[in-house]
Amino acid sequence: MATVIKTVNLTKRYGTLVALSNLNLEIEEGDCFGYIGPNGAGKSTTIKVLSTLLQPTWGEARICDYVVGYQSRLIRPLIGYVPDYFGAYEDMVVQEYLEFFAAAYNINGPARTKVVNDVLELTDLASKRDALVDGLSRGMKQRLSIARVLVHDPKVLLLDEPAANLDPRARIEIRELLKELRRMGKTILISSHILPELADLCNKVGIIEQGELLYSGPVSDIIRRAKAGTVLHVGVATGQEQAAALLSTDPNVADVQHNNGYLQVSLKTGVEDYSFVPHRLIQAGYRLTLLKEEEVNLETAFMRLTKGMVQ
């Protein structure tokens, strides 16, 4: 696959503050790339550089092999940037809003009417074409923001926290819209704090902290790396302390902790068969109420990586 977004030692400084430090990132055509990090990590700075709104201090950023800063006029028709805020002129209705941006890209006449109708249908906003933009719900405004950047059919979408402060239904609607855009072949970079939704939406993720990229690659790889060993959640009807002491003596068990009414049993590295756990407990007369292997997901991986627990 062709590389669509590439940064080489991308660095952005504000005086003594280093917002990005030697960022090396590659996103291929058709990827949906989830960009994860705490507030102030450098996510928005990265997206603003890629969208040609900020100049890097040094290093290089490329979109479709065009260099940000030197070939920005060639980059802008290829990208659609959705910031983490929404702005519109007062008293503007939805259709006028989209026609305004279509005109900015020199889309005129019947072609403009068609493209506005098409993006209204795609984003499920056709019924709101005559509604005032300021009167829309936050979820609809986010969909309108995405509709706005689709009028010129960009190859790359740069989305900064598109699901922030949305209610659950609006988040689901945005997620389904982004899935459809990916099926259409768009390359998407999306920053978000809602990690379970990124795991469902993205095929690759990047984790950034204090301006430095800690990980970049497939979601499955970071989850595999975060899974240091098998951890079990074990519940017994009575005698939890004694059950913990019993399991602690087993040579396959590394550690037993109490956690919200159940036992968290960590097995030693390389131990994957945990059938001995229920066998020992039942044989000793305990009534088992819970036995479940702990799931390692993107959220777990993020927490472990940003604490330096994953190598």
Instruction: Quote the CA–CA distance of 105 and 84 in Å, as a whole number.
Output: 22
* Residue at token pair 């009414």: 261
DSSP state, residue 77 = G
CATH of region 228-295, choose from 3.10.20.600, 3.30.360.10, 3.30.70.100, 3.40.50.740: 3.30.70.100
Q: DSSP for 242-258?
A: HHHHHHHTSTTEEEEEE
pLDDT tens digits, the chain, 311 residues: what are they? 799 999 999 999 999 999 999 999 999 999 999 999 888 889 999 999 999 999 999 999 999 999 999 999 999 999 999 998 887 777 899 999 999 999 999 999 999 999 999 999 999 999 999 999 989 998 899 999 999 999 999 999 999 988 877 888 888 888 899 999 999 999 999 998 778 778 888 999 999 989 999 989 998 888 777 776 788 999 999 999 999 999 999 999 999 999 888 999 999 988 889 999 999 999 999 999 999 988 777 877 777 777 654 44
Torsion over CA: 191, 197, 199, 200 (sign) = negative
- DSSP secondary structure letters along 110-135: HHHHHHHHHHHHHTT-GGGTTSBGGG
CA dihedral 243, 245, 249, 250 (to 10 degrees): 30
Q: What share of the chain is helix, strand, coil (3-state, %, to 5)?
A: 35, 30, 35
> How large is the greatest C-alpha to C-alpha distance in the chain, in angstroms?
81
Determine the pLDDT at residue 302.
78
- Residues paired with residue 231 on neighbouring β-strands, in sequence order: 266
pTM metric for this prediction: 0.81
Domain ranges of the chain: 3-221, 228-295
Closest CA to 24 of 3, 1, 38: 3
Residue 139 three-state SS: helix
Which is nearest to 219 in space by CA: 208, 207, 205? Answer: 205
What pLDDT does 307 receive?
A: 64
CB atoms inside a 10 Å sphere around CB 308: 9
Instruction: Map residue 103 onto helix, strand or coil.
Output: helix
Is residue 306 within 8 Å of 207, Cβ to Cβ? yes
Show the tokens assigned to 121.
């249908």
| Token reading at 266 | 């960590």
Predicted confidence at residue 267, as pLDDT, reads 92
- Does the 3-221 domain belong in CATH 1.10.1060.10? no
**Cα 181 off chain centre by:** 15
| Alpha helices (H) along the chain | 43-50, 72-75, 94-104, 109-122, 138-150, 168-183, 195-201, 219-226, 240-248, 276-283, 298-306
pLDDT at 197: 75
Half-sphere exposure of 209 (CA within 13 A, CB side): 10
